[in-house]
Amino acid sequence: MKCQKSFDNEGAKLYVVATPIGNLSELTPRAIEVLGSVDIIAAEDTRNTMKLLHHFDIKTRVIAHHMHNEKESAKGLLKMLQEGLSIALVSDAGYPLLSDPGQYVVKEVLAEGFPIVPISGSNAAINALVASGIVAQPYLFYGFLGNSEKERVHSLHELKDLPYTFILYEAPHRIEKMLQSCLDVLGNREICLARELTKKHEEFIRGNIAEVMSVAGSLRGEMVIVVEGSNKEKEVVEVGALTGLVDTYSADGMTTKEAIKKIAKEYGISKNELYKEYHGLN
């Protein structure tokens, strides 16, 4: 067991500093002080960080630390700490480590006995959560589901039965496919899509997955999606009420598979859940 008292140690430290996710005025006074007083700033993108530092007239030396050089960069950062230098770790926006580089270096720095000191600030996931209208706790931050449908579906099946609100990140060019995967696996749950957080065009779109998906293709900017947790009783009642339609469509000449697919799309529910309910597999 190891105990760290962040304000008792005057030696070298690694500060994990949250930076603004859009609105520069959200950089905290403490973050400004730390960024100005450390010996080195290790940045995910030095160009973006230099713009931030220039805005606040901070002259600290900046070096690159991103996911493509993280293991090699960690060796250099450890050497600097061993020489008595203090370092601030920053990503492009929000907290390092949360869907951004930093996990490896934090682990290595702790293994060498140096303190890790967090400096509070903006976080897109928490901003979206508290404004979503969906139950705020308990919650699970998941981040990006993955690029491929296979990755997304696998991750969603792991999340599907958890009774927690969960938070996802997604890029605009994948949002429609991601929401379709959510609809197929989770059913038509309530969600909130938040985008452009803290910026001029900040927007929250609240509704069920099918409703939000109908407008998602026209949206731009990095997105946070807050999804309600599992409510098995509610889902079974909703799906169970539609099983009779399968027979109705089948009587009109559709196969059972075609009928289930059509109903699932029309009502914004999971075709897998409807299939299980119709065949008594739940």
Kindly report, residue by residue over 40-87, the tens digit of the pLDDT: 999 999 999 999 999 999 999 999 988 778 888 899 999 999 999 999
pLDDT digits (tens, 9 = 90+) for 14-42: 999 999 999 999 999 999 999 999 999 99
* Phi–psi pair at 144, nearest 5 degrees: -80, 135
Instruction: Please determine, for residue 179, whether its predicted confidence score (pLDDT) is greater than 90.
Output: yes
Q: What value does the mean pLDDT take over residues 129-137?
A: 97
Q: Which residues contact 31 (CB under 8 A, 6 or more apart)?
A: 17, 18, 19, 119, 120, 121
Confidence of residue 104 (pLDDT cuts 50, 70, 90): very high
Select from 173, 193, 68 the least CA-distant residue to 124.
193
pLDDT value, residue 218? 92
**Banded model confidence at residue 251, pLDDT cuts 50, 70, 90:** confident
For the chain, the average pLDDT equals 91
Say what the pLDDT of residue 238 is. 66
Q: Which two tokens stand for residue 208?
A: 């069920």
Q: What is the 3-state secondary structure (H, E, C) of the chain?
A: CCCCCCCCCCCCCEEEECECCCCHHHCCHHHHHHHHHCCEEEECCHHHHHHHHHHCCCCCEEEECCCCCHHHHHHHHHHHHHCCCCEEEECCCECCCCCCCCHHHHHHHHHCCCCEEEECCCCHHHHHHHHCCCCCCCEEEEEECCCCHHHHHHHHHHHCCCCCEEEEEECHHHHHHHHHHHHHHHCCCEEEEEECCCCCCCEEEEEEHHHHHHHHCCCCCCEEEEECCCCHHHHHHHHHCCHHHHHHHHHCCCCHHHHHHHHHHHHCCCHHHHHHHHCCCC
CA trace torsion 204, 209, 212, 214 (10° rounding)? 170
User: 185: which 2 tokens?
Assistant: 């696996």
Q: With 60 as the cut, is the pLDDT of residue 277 above it?
A: yes
Write down the pTM of the prediction. Answer: 0.80
For the segment 183-235, what is each residue's pLDDT rounded down to a tens digit? 989 989 999 999 999 999 999 999 999 999 999 989 999 999 999 999 876 55
pLDDT higher at 261 or 138: 138
**Closest among 255, 256, 254, 274 to 264, alpha carbons compared:** 274
- The predicted pLDDT at position 38 comes to 97
274 confidence band (pLDDT: 50, 70, 90): confident
Rounded to whole angstroms, the Cα distance separating 199 from 184 reads 32
How confident is the model at residue 133, as a pLDDT? 97
| pLDDT value, residue 30 | 97
pLDDT band, residue 264 (cuts 50/70/90): confident
Assess contact for 95 and 16: CB atoms under 8 A: yes
